[in-house]
Structure 1
Amino acid sequence: MKINIYIVDKKGKKELYEPLVEHYRKLCRPWAQVEVHEIFGKEIARAQDQGPAQAQKSYTQALERFRGSGYDIVLDPEGREVTSEAFAELLKDRQVVNFYIGGAYGFERSFVHTSDKSVSFGRITLSHKLVKVVLMEQIFRGLSIIHHHPYHK
């Protein structure tokens, strides 16, 4: 199984969050290859300065090329909140799963609606880097549930 995480975020603060991301990536290795792709460039930076609509459009344009190569799941505050067991079901029996974490302004509604699923980690606002860590932990937890590993208990 291959799991891709596409996140609209500037690279940085690796010393704070990257050890946790690496920790969960290592734990997932027996069951899945997990890759994190940080997407950010001058176009996105310019668009964010122009406002929310332009920023959302730039996120969609940057991430659209990765869609369609697997089961696409968008993290979205308006998405469905799921239990860890339901999250595991999203991963079960899939060859490729792509997760998308938007930029500061979230995604255009069309990007969310044309994805296979949208999931919310709650109504609170978290930094992108922290969401990436939470997602990595939930991926490991989901894989643990699928493979009857005791981590989930």
Structure 2
Amino acid sequence: MRITIVAVGKLKEKFWTAACDEYLKRLRPYTKVTVAEIPDVDPARAGGIEAAREREGEGILAAVPESARAILMAIEGKQRSSVDFSQHLDDLALCGESDLAFIIGGSDGVSDAVRARADETFSFGPITLPHNLARVVLLEQIYRAFKISRGEPYHK
């Protein structure tokens, strides 16, 4: 399985970078994960929130591999437990979905074009997370999913 994390915004603080790097390192034995950072667009400079979303959306769509199943991280998306998420990834792999792209939008959400490209939506629940933290949580949950799937210790 190949996984691409498409995220709006750059990790600026070292603690976010360190956390992401740790999970990327832990994931290496299980899957290939790449991260595509899309520059965030200042709405004041872009001509408004919608224009900023559109510009970010163009970058997101360009970064999602054409053959990938696109999974948009959205508050209104389907909520899954860690075990259910692991099973879902296994089911996708069994159905031949070996290329996944998780999309984390910017602080003002994503464009309609990005929503249209998404094959499904996934949510960590009805809470709002900063996109930096959402990236760390997503990487951790992907790592946890692989550990669960293989029956290895980590998930409790």
* TM-score exceeds 0.5: yes
CA RMSD of aligned residues (A): 1.9
**Partner in structure 1 of residue 62 of structure 2:** 65
Task: Give the secondary structure class of the aligned counterpart of 1:151.
Answer: coil
Q: Which digits, 9 at most, give the CA deviation of each residue in 1:89-142, with x for residues without a partner?
A: 332214211110001111124422431110111222211111111011000011
Match of 1:152, as an amino acid? H
Under a length normalisation based on structure 1, what TM-score does the superposition of the two structures give? 0.87
Q: In structure 2, what is the equivalent of residue 102 of structure 1? A: 105
What is the distance in 2 between the residues matched to 1:74 and 1:143? 20
Displacement, 1:78? Answer: 1.3
Alpha carbons of structure 1 residues 28 and 61: separation in structure 2 relative to 1, 3 Å: same
Task: State, as a whole percentage, how many aligned pairs show the same letter.
Answer: 33
What amino acid sits opposite 2:74 in the alignment?
Answer: D
- The normalised TM-score by structure 2 is 0.85
Give the paired residue count: 150
Q: Hey, what does 1:33 align to over in structure 2?
A: 32
Question: Quick check: 2:8–2:38 contact (8 Å CA) kept in 1?
Answer: yes
Tell me by how many angstroms 1:6 deviates: 0.7
Give the unaligned 5+ runs of structure 2: none
Question: What is the Cα deviation at residue 72 of structure 1?
Answer: 0.9
Answer whether contact 2:24 2:33 (CA < 8 A) is retained.
yes
Moved over 4 A (4+): 46-49
Cross-structure match for 1:4: 4
What is the identity, as a one-letter code, of the residue corresponding to 1:18? T
Write out aligned runs for 1:43-122 (5 A): 44-45=41-42, 49-67=46-64, 68-92=66-90, 93=93, 94-122=97-125
Q: For structure 1, which runs of at least 5 residues remain unmatched after alignment?
A: none
Distance, in Å, in 2 between the alignment partners of 1:119 and 1:82 is 8
